[in-house]
Amino acid sequence: MSENNAVKNSFFSYKGYPLVRKGDEIYYGNMYDNTVIWMQILDKTKVGNIDVASRIRIYQMKTDDTLSPVERIVKQSEKTSLYEALDISYVWLSRQN
């Protein structure tokens, strides 16, 4: 199995890019590409018994670890739903990588 297939099969994916969540942070994209997306869930709203993200900050970041964290940020945005955040993130990744 190639490295790309191993990565694709070991993570949940959305529109062909790996998607990993740790607490209120979501990482979207391949670390071997030029950029990835880092999302922070800032606010949640209760819908029934489920907490739903209601404010998400999105950063498109370069994967070059020789840059400072500030230099890595390509663009950023804020959205009011996870769907909107993933949708714009996919567009950013598709255009950049």
State residue 1's pLDDT score: 43
Question: At 33, is the secondary structure helix, strand, or coil?
Answer: coil
Tokens of 62: 């370069």
Total domains in the chain come to 1
Verdict on whether the full-model pTM lies above 0.85? no
State residue 4's pLDDT score: 55
The whole domain housing 41 covers 3-96
Place of tokens 């959305």: 14
Residue by residue, pLDDT tens for the chain (97 residues) are 445 555 555 779 999 999 999 999 999 999 899 999 999 999 999 999 999 999 999 999 999 999 999 999 999 999 999 999 999 999 999 998 7
Sequence-ordered list of residues with C-beta below 8 angstroms from that of 60, at least 6 positions apart, any chain = 35, 36, 37, 73, 74, 75, 76, 89, 92, 93, 96
In this structure, are residues 55 and 80 in contact, taking their beta carbons and an 8 Å threshold?
yes
State residue 10's pLDDT score: 73
